Amino acid sequence: MPNNKKNRIVPLAILVVLVLLGLFYYNQASRVFRIGAEPRAVTARGDLAEDEKNSIEVFRTTEDSVVYITSIALQRNWFSLNAFEIPQGVGSGFVWDKYGRIVTNYHVISDANLIEVTMADHSKYKGVLVGAAPDKDLAVLQIDAPTSLIKPIPVGEAYNLMVGQKVYAIGNPFGLDHTMTSGIISALGREIQAVTGRTIKGMIQTDAAINPGNSGGPLLDSAGRLIGVNTAIQSPSGAYAGIGFAVPVDEVNKVIPQLIKNGRLIRAGIGAQLADERVARQLGLEGILILGVESGSPADQAGLKPTTQYRGDILLGDIIVGVDGKETKTYDDFRDVLDQHRPGNEVILNIIRNNDPVSIKLRLTAVN
């Protein structure tokens, strides 16, 4: 019996020791976890870097000029015949002048029955189309908002831009309002295709993040001035891939006043119907074939020959190969040269007639 009692005491003693050790280590562990549980003292931030200050200032001074645009299509319920509104797409824009005119991309509002413009304070207004230039992918809207909300964006210039200079893009990507991204000008003089198929030349290329919803928003320089209108991205997925494009502000400054005044872009022309590049390629021509001549137009008065049909045969008209000595192999080339002129200016057309070079002087007219 005494031996059995002794045998029971030994395990009990071991158990007591284990419990005491467990309590000791638990207390030590708890102490470790409790250390630093109190709030840390805040370290003074110090002054921001000059570059950060500039970025903050650019956003602060321009955010109220940027708007959110929703294009709305009307659809009809064929059972009830009631019409209802369907959001068609979203984009950005910015306040152009003190009269409440908004600049955006044409492709943002091209299919809309109704246009809704959301200001920086989230108030919404109906946008009325003032004018559009599809070939330039630009459009002007009018809103009736309080003057306190109308804050025109500062306008800069694009002729002296340099690759490498810092730029900012402000817009509403993916419906996230007033988002700012930064980058540099990656290249100048790029070309993209407008919704009309016409080539837009002289575009600014940037690596500032531009995503769906940024279209129509401003591209700014480090002084917070408008230098371009964000228009397109180049990406297989349709999302940011490091390459975005903007219409340069010098082009915007030429187009927008015309849209405000006339509702459309008034351009210089010759009053003739010209063949597109597909027809020229099929015929193996280098130049712009004249298909038809409008009666009384400068082309008619200058004696330009249209394409005609005689006894089943097609007789090719004059082929424009240059303007004022500048070669024009395509319609885009021809339009680019004429866009440098105004209606009423005189030019020399260099043409091929019956395989012979001819030069003809004419006065340009206004065309849509």
**Residues tagged active-site:** 107, 137, 215
CB atoms within 10 A of CB 143: 22
Measured CA to CA, the distance from residue 364 to residue 307 in angstroms comes to: 21
Q: What is the pLDDT along the chain (368 residues), one digit of tens a residue?
A: 455 555 556 666 677 667 677 766 666 666 655 665 677 788 777 788 898 999 999 999 999 999 999 987 655 444 444 443 444 578 899 999 999 999 999 999 988 889 999 999 999 999 999 999 998 999 999 999 999 999 999 999 998 999 999 999 998 877 677 889 999 999 999 988 888 888 888 999 999 888 878 889 999 999 999 999 998 776 666 566 678 899 999 999 999 999 999 998 888 999 999 987 778 778 888 889 999 999 999 999 999 999 998 877 888 899 999 999 899 888 888 888 998 888 999 999 999 998 899 999 999 998 87
Q: The tokens 């004059």 sit on which residue?
A: 318
**Edge-first strand listing for the sheet containing 124-126:** 124-126, 114-118, 66-76, 83-95, 101-104, 138-142, 128-133
- CA geometry: angle at 236 spanning 230 and 238, to 5°? 45
- The answer to whether 60-149 and 166-265 have equal CATH topology is yes
Return the bridge partners of 8, or none.
none
Superfamily of domain 60-149: Trypsin-like serine proteases (2.40.10.10)
Element counts in the chain: helices (H) and strands (E)? 7, 23
In degrees, to the nearest 5, what angle opens at C-alpha 26 toward C-alphas 22 and 31?
155
- Are 248 and 158 in contact by the 8 Å Cβ rule? The answer is yes
Domain residue ranges in the chain: 60-149, 166-265, 268-367
What is the three-state SS of 196-233? CCCEEEEEEEECCCCCCCCCCCEEEECCCCEEEEEEEE
What are the residues facing 320 on neighbouring strands? Answer: 288, 351
Domain 166-265 has CATH 2.40.10.10: yes
Fold (topology level) of 268-367? Pdz3 Domain (2.30.42)
Determine contact, residues 302/362, Cβ cutoff 8 Å.
yes
